Amino acid sequence: MKRIYAKEEVCIGCRLCEIHCIFEHSGHQTLVKAFSNRENLPEAAVRVEEDGAISFALQCRHCEDAPCLAACIGGAMTRDPQTGAVKHDEEKCVGCWSCIMVCPFGAIRTNSETGKVGSKCDLCAGKDTPACVAHCPNEALVYE
Amino acid sequence: MPEKRYDYLILGNSTAAIAAVEAIRSVDPTGSLALVSDQPNHVYSAPLITYVLAGKIPEEKLYLRPRDFYQGLNVDTYFGVAATQVKREAHEVVLQSGATLGYGKLLLATGGTPIAPPLPGADLQGVFTFTRHDDMCRVREFIQQKKVTQAVIIGGGMIGIKVAEAFAALKLETTIVELMDRVLAQALDETGSAMAKRALEQHGVRVITGSGVTAIGGTDGVVQSVTLDSGSRLPAQLVIMAVGVRPNVALAHEAGLTVNRGVVVNDNMQTNDPDIFAAGDVAEAFDPLLGECRPIAIWPGAHMQGETAGLNMAGQPEEYGGNIPMNSIQVCGLPTISVGLISPPEGAETLEYRSPDGKSYRRMFIVDNRIVGAVFVGDIDRAGIITGLIRQAIDVSSFKAKLMQRDLGLLSLPKHYRKHIVSGPGIEV
């Protein structure tokens, strides 16, 4: 399957990937509308990690051998049989945090408002190119 | 003659069983496959039955897979009928109904049975164990019919805590009685246990530790009280026994398979009979931290064992890499996670952090520059990064100072480890 790869050598830490991830999942038509009313904005599923000159963007890796699939006690983490993506069903999630316990990337986070897993990358389901990749100005994110 | 003969037969219907079904079907889409469960339900999540009792989730959300899951994978199901005997030579399983099913490869994924301590009064009406869907239904009905107001839970482990949380949500006056000096003693260290106890108490649950139960009392066959070894008596119309679960090994034992505390298996999850496999809470799995096999009743391990067993049953060699003990337990809204050892082994270096507001706590044990155990309470985000370091036995000496930091990320880790964990197919950073 196609996955998102980050190149820490060329990431400039601009965080546009985070902005466009939020916008893509906000349901708004324009970037300005999404961010002019900051209420009800989803959290970014991609996070830029930064330490001095080094940075890279990280989101769910959609691992081939995904430990979160084995750990989920609610059947909320599933593998999409068509795309191979690891999907999270917020309806089924009970917030047991077993996925957080086993994800070696720390790519899954709690959402304190819903008490469930928040902001899990869905590879922008249905899009040819995920928003974070499409809007990375320095091609530090690639989808291949 | 067996009623029907299957290439693959699975006894049990929880996460190890479905992982095996999915693994078998990934290798062999057409081989005949059947699953036998003594419970009548579609595959559900046993850890979630307390959530249903509390009314936190609807019954429909208990199910781990869609209703047509087995049908879609062409699996015959025999639900609500127990397997009573394994005839190894004939390669047959006898069911309670008297019918027999033949098998090519058999998987025992029969889980565990709650331990029933031999207490006087344990047979009274109103005394239950709480591990299955039908337990939950019986308790729910009993609470309504008998207008229960006071409940005692014997045992302050994971099941006892989650039942207490549900009872508190139902506004029952609830007391946990725990023999050890703290709750969740298998899953948390002293500080973590104390924080869990406080969370329970803040939700109205009374917690009595360091106290045994000597008898359950009642009149006319109905429970009325619980007597502690101190002599004091707690009034209760409902008692839950939650002192632990042991592997369900009777079938394996009677069939002459090698059984220790659980069913003994090799790295392929295969028993001493090459055509019989075991996975999940019934089996003994390898614990790489202790370097020995023992039953570790944890969910992710059960799933991975089921997957390993399924692949091997279908002819694709696969080894189970072992699993370290780990638990993620929400205690009345307080997240807790522990991975590996929960008390420091001799000579261990201990790192500890408490947030200024007292709501978060983390502690790690380091031996020979490797983390061998970690406890997280409150803020548990990114705990999995530590799990990865434990699992891979990574030398943490060059970034030890960062381990306790809130913003611990992959970037905090040495580049060689980043490259190492991301070197598998499809997980490159």
pLDDT in tens, B260-317: 999 999 999 999 999 999 999 999 987 777 788 878 888 999 999 999 999 999 999 9
Looking at beta carbons, which residues of chain A come within 8 Å of B371?
A: none
pLDDT at B288: 78
Strand partners, A93: none
Q: How far apart are CA A72 and CA B4, in angstroms?
A: 34
Q: Does ipTM top 0.85?
A: yes
pLDDT digit string, tens, across residues B325-369? 999 999 999 999 999 999 998 999 999 999 999 899 999 999 999
Rounded (10°) CA dihedral A92, A94, A97, A98: -60
Q: Quick count: other Cβ atoms within 10 Å of Cβ B152?
A: 28
Confidence at B427, pLDDT banded by 50, 70, 90: very low
pLDDT digit string, tens, across residues B189-237? 999 999 999 999 999 999 999 999 999 999 999 999 999 999 999 999 9
Which among B45, B300, B337 has the least Cβ separation from residue A74? B45
Q: Quick count: other Cβ atoms within 10 Å of Cβ B247?
A: 24
% residues pLDDT > 90 (chain B): 84
Contact B345, B367 (CB under 8 A): yes
Half-sphere exposure of B81 (CA within 13 A, CB side): 17
Q: How far apart are CA A132 and CA A6, in angstroms?
A: 11
Q: How far apart are CA A45 and CA B10, in angstroms?
A: 38
* B133 in reach of chain A (CB within 8 A): no
pLDDT digit string, tens, across residues B57-72? 999 999 999 999 999 9
Choice between B370 and B401, residue whose per-residue pLDDT is larger: B370
Q: How far apart are CA B159 and CA B173, in angstroms?
A: 18
Residue with tokens 């082994």: B345
Which among B61, B304, B384 has the least Cβ separation from residue A104? B384
Looking at beta carbons, which residues of chain B come within 8 Å of A6?
A: 429
Written in H, E and C, the secondary structure of A73-126 is: CCCCEEECCCCCCEEECCCCCCCCCHHHHHCCCCCCEEECCCCEEECCCCCCCC
Choice between B218 and B322, residue whose per-residue pLDDT is larger: B218
Take residue B322 and report the two structure tokens written for it.
């072992």
Choice between B100 and B405, residue whose per-residue pLDDT is larger: B100
- Taking CA–CA distances from B299, the nearest residue in chain A reads A71
Take residue B311 and report the two structure tokens written for it.
């692949």
Confidence at B425, pLDDT banded by 50, 70, 90: very low
Q: Indicate the residue type of B417.
A: Y
Do the Cβ atoms of B381 and A94 come within 8 Å? no
The helix (H) or strand (E) run that includes residue B386 is helix B383-391
pLDDT at B421: 62
Best probe of the B interface among A63, A98, A113, A141, by most B CBs < 10 A, is A98
Angle of CA points A74, A75, A79, to nearest 5°: 150
Contact B144, B241 (CB under 8 A): no
Confidence at B422, pLDDT banded by 50, 70, 90: low
Contact B44, B15 (CB under 8 A): no
Contact B288, B304 (CB under 8 A): no
pLDDT at B428: 42
Contact B343, B189 (CB under 8 A): yes
Contact B295, B284 (CB under 8 A): yes
Q: Quick count: other Cβ atoms within 10 Å of Cβ B38?
A: 19
Best probe of the B interface among A96, A99, A116, by most B CBs < 10 A, is A96
Supply the DSSP string of B135-159, one letter for each residue: HHHHHHHHHHHTT--EEEEE--SHH
pLDDT at B423: 46
Chain A nearest CA to B340, separation (Å): 12
Contact B393, B370 (CB under 8 A): yes
Confidence at B420, pLDDT banded by 50, 70, 90: low
Chain B nearest CA to A29, separation (Å): 31
Looking at beta carbons, which residues of chain B come within 8 Å of A51?
A: 411-412
Cβ neighbors of B247 (< 8 A, separation 6 or more) are B111, B112, B261, B262, B263, B281, B282, B283, B284, B295
Choice between B163 and A113, residue whose per-residue pLDDT is larger: B163
Looking at beta carbons, which residues of chain A come within 8 Å of B65?
A: 75
Take residue B266 and report the two structure tokens written for it.
């090799």
Looking at beta carbons, which residues of chain B come within 8 Å of A108?
A: 384
* A25 in reach of chain B (CB within 8 A): no
pTM: 0.92
Residue B429 has pLDDT above 60, yes or no: no
Strand partners, B5: B102
**Phi, psi of B4, deg, nearest 5:** -155, 150
Runs of H (alpha helix) within B170-316: 190-202, 250-254, 299-313
- Work out whether the CA dihedral B186, B192, B194, B197 comes out positive or negative: negative
Looking at beta carbons, which residues of chain A come within 8 Å of B429?
A: 5-6, 8, 56, 58, 61, 105
Q: Quick count: other Cβ atoms within 10 Å of Cβ B82?
A: 16
Question: What does each of the 144 residues of chain A score in pLDDT, given as a tens digit?
Answer: 888 888 888 899 999 999 999 999 998 999 998 998 777 888 899 999 888 888 888 899 898 889 999 999 999 999 988 888 999 999 999 999 999 999 999 999 888 788 888 878 999 987 899 999 999 999 999 998
* B172 in reach of chain A (CB within 8 A): no
% residues pLDDT > 70 (chain B): 97
Window 398-417 of B: residues touching A by CB (8 A cutoff) are: 408-412
